Amino acid sequence: MTEKPWLAHYPPEIPPTLDYESKPVQDYLTHTYEESPEKTAIHFMGKDVSYKELYESSMKFANYLQELGIKKGDRVAIMLPNSPQAVIGFYGILYAGGIVVMTNPLYTEREIAYQMKNSGAKVILAMDILYPRISKVIKDTELENVIITGIKEYLPFPKNMIYPFIQKKQYGISVKVEHRGTNHLFSEIMKIASTNVKETEFDFENDLALLQYTGGTTGSPKGVMLSHKNLISNATMCDKWLYKTKNGEETVLGIIPLFHVYGLTTVLILSVMQGNKMVLLPKFDPETALKTINKQKPTLFPGAPTLYIGLMNHPDISKYDLSSITACLSGSAPLPVDVQEKFEKITGGRLVEGYGLTETSPVTHSNLVWGERTKGSIGLPYPDTDCKVFQPGTTDTVPPGEIGEIGIKGPQVMQGYWNNPEATAATIVDGWLMTGDLGYMDEHGHFFVVDRKKDMIIAGGFNIYPREIEEILYENDAIQECVVAGIPDPYRGETVKAYIVLKEGKTLTESELDAYCREHLAAFKVPRIYEFRTELPKTAVGKILRRSLIDEEKQKMSEAVPS
């Protein structure tokens, strides 16, 4: 058995090891601006932003942050949906020497307070409708300044005039913030700031570019420390994996949130690195997405299974031309084979499953976009990425085909968790990042994830992997989305429950579903309980929140127990 059997499957265009430019992330924007200043960098709901405007706006933002006292290593938070301001803010913070703290705009006051306090962020750039939430918690944080912006600022006429009324109707609030004191308006900054920025010396290997907080499904969220090297390495790997793409000629559809590291690397950083155009949408609405694809003709579409499912199940999908899409890398959740095949048939492009974690910037594995792929596999490790399968809880490796915990080494692996050496030591063991995912490698070097270690169900002494059951359920034509979870059972320890969302117009009874599962699964894997729902709880990036469903079940059980 060779040390890295997957390398035998690499096409000649993908080298096993790469050269990485030792320069900070923001230098790629400087380079692209100097090479192609008039090229469109961002298309946002009808308005184009050139690389010249993006660069100059980022420098103005950097200048203003430095005037506010931001210096090298200070944390600055961004709490925005996909928008030009999110891109400007990201590069502006880096030009100023700061560390970006990406923050989910859906966060509650408690979650905002925790992340601001934990990161020690001094400034936050946020959407106007989020100001009331921020202002309530600012006293419990180290925030000194709040910069407010609005969607309308980058909308063309007349959308910019109409949008405030739509926003007031949608959210029930109209926020007015004055540019004075510790409150600042992004629109004013763009008018008054200079492009003169004090240069900062960067250590490519060690200086942090990003604090990206994990989802916090187990305990409090942890700040993942990603250096300039981590992000540049991973973007370079993605660039080489997509070897048929032409720098400067691609259009990238940015629906996946930029406040998630997957969107940040594959849409924002990679687009600027390659000199491509980003088409940004502030939220996922299937009809808006279909219209955008039809009109803007994106060629690359990084996404998640829920996005592709949402588009495929739109009743009017046949009215739109999706043939511009040539390559899609799906992440954040397992990609059902059925979804992959149907989406490829509709678009004529390639949709492949990849794998990664926040802790790995994020991509570590992918199926080949052009070339052989293995059904149900997360594919092959990226160049310069080593991967082994360990006996859980040890540093002993298991043979090919045997299930264990996946461990990863590579230049994209994080520096550690912010101010949390105990969690860092528990996750990085002997130089290996222990992912918490259970999987195996076949004899050819293809990797398979069977489930999260914590999601494995133990029912009546049997180990049951939810993903296997979900794959079977997705093959049923009536099912749009599903998730399987182990819920507490006094007799079996846990029992298998399936949560189902049916396609519009389709019907399926519990008994029909049970018969279907018994035909395709061993008896001990067949769900004991089925629950039909209109929707499933998800993160902003589209990952189904299995853990929140389990918590819901536990809450129901505790309420049912007489006191």
pLDDT band for position 563 (cuts 50, 70, 90): low
pLDDT band for position 393 (cuts 50, 70, 90): confident
* Rounded Cα gap, residues 467 and 465, in angstroms: 6
Radius of gyration of the chain (CA): 24
The whole-number pLDDT of residue 37 equals 98
Number of alpha carbons in the 13 Å side-chain half-sphere of residue 482? 29
Number of alpha carbons in the 13 Å side-chain half-sphere of residue 247? 14
pLDDT band for position 540 (cuts 50, 70, 90): confident
Q: Closest by alpha carbon to 274, among 261, 287, 263, 265?
A: 265
Same fold for the domain at 25-201 and the one at 456-560? no
Statement: residue 33 has pLDDT above 70: yes
The whole-number pLDDT of residue 217 equals 42
* AA identity, residue 306: T
Please say whether the beta carbons of 381 and 365 come within 8 A.
yes
Burial per residue of 106-117, b for 16 or more beta-carbon CB atoms within 10 angstroms, e otherwise? ebeeebbbbbbe
The whole-number pLDDT of residue 428 equals 96
Cis omega before residue 158 (within 30°)?
A: yes
pLDDT band for position 81 (cuts 50, 70, 90): very high
Q: Which residue has the higher pLDDT, 248 or 338?
A: 248
The whole-number pLDDT of residue 236 equals 98
How confident is the model over 312-321, as a mean pLDDT?
94
182: which 2 tokens?
């510790």
Q: Is 160 helix (H, G, I), strand (E, B) or coil?
A: helix
Kindly compute the dihedral angle of the four CA atoms of residues 273, 279, 283, 289, in this order, to the nearest 10 degrees.
-130
Please say whether the beta carbons of 69 and 100 come within 8 A.
no
The mean pLDDT of the chain is 92
User: How many residues in the chain?
Assistant: 563
Number of alpha carbons in the 13 Å side-chain half-sphere of residue 391? 6
* AA identity, residue 234: N
Statement: residue 1 has pLDDT above 60: no
Please say whether the beta carbons of 500 and 531 come within 8 A.
yes
How confident is the model over 471-485, as a mean pLDDT?
93
Statement: residue 173 has pLDDT above 60: yes
pLDDT band for position 219 (cuts 50, 70, 90): low
pLDDT band for position 162 (cuts 50, 70, 90): confident
Statement: residue 304 has pLDDT above 80: yes
How confident is the model over 37-65, as a mean pLDDT?
98
Kindly compute the dihedral angle of the four CA atoms of residues 90, 93, 95, 99, in this order, to the nearest 10 degrees.
-100
* Rounded Cα gap, residues 433 and 387, in angstroms: 9
The whole-number pLDDT of residue 196 equals 97
The whole-number pLDDT of residue 562 equals 62
How confident is the model over 8-14, as a mean pLDDT?
97
Q: Which helix (H) or strand (E) covers residue 100, if one does?
A: strand 99-102
Residue recorded with tokens 């008018």: 191
Three-class HEC string of 428-482? EECCEEEEEEEEEECCCCCEEEEEEHHHCEEECCEEECHHHHHHHHHCCCCEEEE
403: which 2 tokens?
């299930």
* Rounded Cα gap, residues 451 and 125, in angstroms: 37
* Domain covering 1-22+229-258+271-452 assigned CATH 1.10.10.10 in the classification: no
How confident is the model over 232-241, as a mean pLDDT?
98
* AA identity, residue 492: R
Q: Which residue has the higher pLDDT, 553 or 463?
A: 553
494: which 2 tokens?
């846990």
Instruction: Tell me the pLDDT tens digit for each residue of 288-297.
Output: 999 999 999 9
The whole-number pLDDT of residue 410 equals 98
Q: How far is CA 158 from CA 45, 161, 163, 191, 440, in A?
A: 12, 5, 9, 21, 55
Lowest mean pLDDT among 75-89, 118-132, 184-198, 333-347: 333-347
How confident is the model over 462-486, as a mean pLDDT?
90
Statement: residue 218 has pLDDT above 60: no
What are the φ and ψ backbone dihedral angles of 300, each rounded to 5 degrees?
Answer: -115, 140
The whole-number pLDDT of residue 561 equals 63
56: which 2 tokens?
């100059």
Domain positions in the chain are 1-22+229-258+271-452, 25-201, 456-560
Q: Which residue has the higher pLDDT, 555 or 74?
A: 74
The one-character DSSP state at 267 is I
- Can you say how many angstroms the Cα of residue 116 is from the centroid of all Cα atoms in its chain? 20
CATH architecture of the domain covering 456-560:
2-Layer Sandwich (3.30)
Cis omega before residue 362 (within 30°)?
A: yes
pLDDT band for position 337 (cuts 50, 70, 90): confident
Statement: residue 376 has pLDDT above 90: no
Statement: residue 215 has pLDDT above 80: no
Q: Environment class of residue 2 by beta-carbon count within 10 Å: exposed (0-12), middle (13-18) or buried (19+)? A: exposed
* Rounded Cα gap, residues 51 and 217, in angstroms: 38
How confident is the model over 302-330, as a mean pLDDT?
93
Statement: residue 56 has pLDDT above 50: yes
How open is the CA angle 30-213-497, to the nearest 5 degrees? 130
Instruction: Tell me the pLDDT tens digit for each residue of 407-430.
Output: 999 999 999 999 999 999 999 999
Statement: residue 342 has pLDDT above 70: yes
Q: What percent of the chain has pLDDT over 70?
A: 98
Please tell me the class of the 25-201 domain. alpha beta
Q: Which helix (H) or strand (E) covers residue 168, if one does?
A: helix 159-171
pLDDT band for position 148 (cuts 50, 70, 90): very high
